[in-house]
């Protein structure tokens, strides 16, 4: 088994990078990519642990890209292979994330929810605070029954406390990844909320701008749709990846090394698809 889409406490996962790697070792994972949101701060810790565990480690990142009406996330595999000063860029991205969090908190307070930002930051435990941590606060405070309800009722797009984020463009995301030696791959393509009638055109434009692969296999996508996305990637000359989008306790429905319907993530997505692109 492999897993090419995971998150640690460096962003919105519940495990430290080392804990994530140790869990991967116990789960029988042979190839692991760490793809934290807008952060590479966990990579060296994870790389060191992976070496001890005998796991092939792929340094990665997941960037939030400006897109409407859905969401566009760009995975970058192999970041850091060439000299590139990611620090200032990621600091700016995360400063804008903090501004958004403050807007959400102020909106919640105006709506009568007594939210404690220090507790939210404690939940993040040193990681980048985001909506998942706000959702966990709401669940732990009894405002909602669980994290999913927090999103459905308050934090998802179009809900009362959703605040649109100032994100980078697709072109900027591709440049950030490629200039550091990485390979841009579109995460969970159906999150774009583009109809099947338009998706070929949209993905072809992404490919022409420099996106080289599609994460066709994702646990949030139905099996038939995963198959359609893989076939579409082949038609477009793009390679295919698969991942669990693992967050640990923050998303207990996501299991390490598992994709749609609890299927093992096939190692062909690394050895036959990603590795040649990284070579």
What integer best gives the mean pLDDT of the chain? 93
pLDDT of residue 251: 83
3-state DSSP call for residue 186?
strand
pLDDT for residue 171? 96
Does 224 reside within a domain?
A: yes
| Per-residue pLDDT tens digits for 139-197 | 999 999 998 899 999 998 889 999 887 789 999 999 999 999 999 999 999 999 999 99
- Same domain for 270 and 177: yes
Is residue 234 helix, strand or coil? helix
- Tell me which of 120 and 126 has the higher pLDDT: 120
> Within a domain: residue 80?
yes
Order of strands across the sheet with 72-77? 2-3, 31-34, 56-65, 72-77, 183-186, 213-217, 239-242
Tell me what the mean pLDDT of segment 222-237 comes to.
98
Which CATH number do you get for residue 123? Answer: 1.10.150.650
Question: What is the C-alpha separation between 239 and 10, in angstroms, rounded?
Answer: 28
Q: Which CATH number goes with the domain that contains 260?
A: 3.20.20.140
Total of domains in the chain: 2
Q: Which of 134, 155, 176 marks a domain boundary? A: 155
Residues 143 and 199 in one domain: no
**Domain span at 35:** 2-89+166-278
pLDDT above 90 for 270: yes
User: Do 123 and 211 belong to one domain?
Assistant: no
Angle at 70 between CA 130 and CA 123, to 5 degrees: 10
Q: What is the pLDDT of residue 69?
A: 83
Kindly state the percentage of the chain with pLDDT values over 70.
Answer: 100
pLDDT of residue 208: 98
Residue with tokens 């409407």: 68
**Would residue 160 count as lying in a domain?**
no
- The answer, yes or no, to whether residue 110 has pLDDT greater than 90, is yes
43 and 27 within one domain: yes
Q: Which of 120, 155, 190 is the last residue of a domain?
A: 155
């Amino acid at each position: 088994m492999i897993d090419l889409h995971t998150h640690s406490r460096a962003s919105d996962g519940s495990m430290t990078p080392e804990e994530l790697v140790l869990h991967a070792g116990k789960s029988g994972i042979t190839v692991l990519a760490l793809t934290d949101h807008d952060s590479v701060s966990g990579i060296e810790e994870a790389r060191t642990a992976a070496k001890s565990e005998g796991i092939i480690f792929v340094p990665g990142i997941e960037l939030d890209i400006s897109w409407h009406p859905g969401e566009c996330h760009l995975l970058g595999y192999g970041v850091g292979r060439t000299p590139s000063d990611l620090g200032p860029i990621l600091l700016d991205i995360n400063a804008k994330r903090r501004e958004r969090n403050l807007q959400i908190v102020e909106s919640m307070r105006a709506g009568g929810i007594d939210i404690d930002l220090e507790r939210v930051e404690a939940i993040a435990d040193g990681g980048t605070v985001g909506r998942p941590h706000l959702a966990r606060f709401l669940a732990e405070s009894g405002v909602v029954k669980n994290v999913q309800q927090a999103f459905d009722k308050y934090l998802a797009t179009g809900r009362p406390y959703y605040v649109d984020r100032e994100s980078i463009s697709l072109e900027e995301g591709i440049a950030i990844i490629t200039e550091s030696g990485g390979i841009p791959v579109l995460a969970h393509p159906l999150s774009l909320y583009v109809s099947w009638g338009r998706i070929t055109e949209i993905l072809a434009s992404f490919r022409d701008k420099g996106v080289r692969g599609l994460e066709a296999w994702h646990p949030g996508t139905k099996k038939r749709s995963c198959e359609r996305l893989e076939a579409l990637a082949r038609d477009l000359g793009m390679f295919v990846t698969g991942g669990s989008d693992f967050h640990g306790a923050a998303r207990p429905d996501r299991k390490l090394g598992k994709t749609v319907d609890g299927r093992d993530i096939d190692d062909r997505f690394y050895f036959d698809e990603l590795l040649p692109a990284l070579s």
